[in-house]
Amino acid sequence: MSAKKPQPLISRPKHDRCPVCGEISYSQTGVHPQCAMRQADAKRMKHIARKPAAASRKSVDAAKPWQRICPKCKALQHIRKKVCPCGHTFPVPSTVSQR
Ligand SMILES: [Zn+2]
Ligand SMILES: [Zn+2]
């Protein structure tokens, strides 16, 4: 008897390999929960890491004519403010005499 039976060979592996670390994962998604978290975290960290540089550059460039940057804390303050919240006192224009 040489009836050819469609023999199911080794069916698909039960567990996929985690695309993050390459190890076999036993979770349904095929990705280790901690690996998925790590991957998501890495993406998020990249996203965050790029932000501060752009923001700090913007704060310097964004000084409007009615604004000035406090030399002490680098914060933008309205030009009419005499004292910065950080305690720095802005030099008073000579046109305004203080007595
Ligand atoms: Zn993994
Ligand atoms: Zn200040």
Q: Which ligand is nearest to the CA of 74?
A: 2
Amino acid 52: pLDDT: 60
Ligand 2 geometric centre to CA of 93 (Å): 18
Ligand 1 geometric centre to CA of 11 (Å): 23
Binned at pLDDT 50, 70 and 90, residue 2 comes out as low
Alpha-carbon gap, residue 90 to 30, rounded angstroms: 61
Provide the 10 A C-beta neighbour count for residue 59.
13
Model confidence, pTM:
0.33
Q: What is the pLDDT of residues 5-25, one digit of tens each?
A: 777 665 655 678 898 899 988
Ligand 2 geometric centre to CA of 91 (Å): 13
Strand boundaries in the chain, DSSP class E: 67-69, 76-78
Q: What is the pLDDT of residues 34-91, one digit of tens each?
A: 999 999 988 888 877 766 655 555 555 667 888 999 999 999 999 899 999 999 999 8
